[in-house]
Amino acid sequence: MKLFSYSSCSTCRRAIKWLKNNDIAFKLIDLLKFPPSKEILISASELYGDRKYLLNTSGVMYRSIGSDVIKKMTDKEFFEQLCMEPRLIKRPFLYKSNKCFLVGFKEEKWAEKLLLNSHEG
């Protein structure tokens, strides 16, 4: 399991603490240095049903590009942009398998996916 995180992100720190408190093994990856691959991002987008769920809409980078510009991007442009500018990716970004991603940290959702259904995904 890979956790793409950003060291100054308080939500990422909460997710890391939660994973450790629940004895869930994971590999911590610096999101800015080693962002998820385009293939992983596309799989997550397909699983969530919409690419907008991958976006860090509260970030400076998102606001500087503008939601209108991002909405008009083709899928190819969108995923290339995420890879070039990983600050656009909502974090933390947890990759367990191509059928199990968690984007952002909501304790209930993480517990449901990682504790209650630990045999899946």
- Domain ranges (residues) in the chain: 2-116
The reported pLDDT for the residue numbered 116 is 74
Residue 59 carries which side chain, given as an amino acid letter?
G
pLDDT cut 90: percent of the chain above it: 89
The reported pLDDT for the residue numbered 120 is 46
Contact 99, 121 (CB under 8 A): yes
Judge whether residue 121 has pLDDT over 50.
no
CATH architecture observed for domain 2-116: 3-Layer(aba) Sandwich (3.40)
pTM, full prediction? 0.90
Tell me: the pLDDT tens digits for 71-108? 999 999 999 999 999 999 999 999 998 889 999 999 99
Cα Rg for the chain, rounded, in angstroms? 14
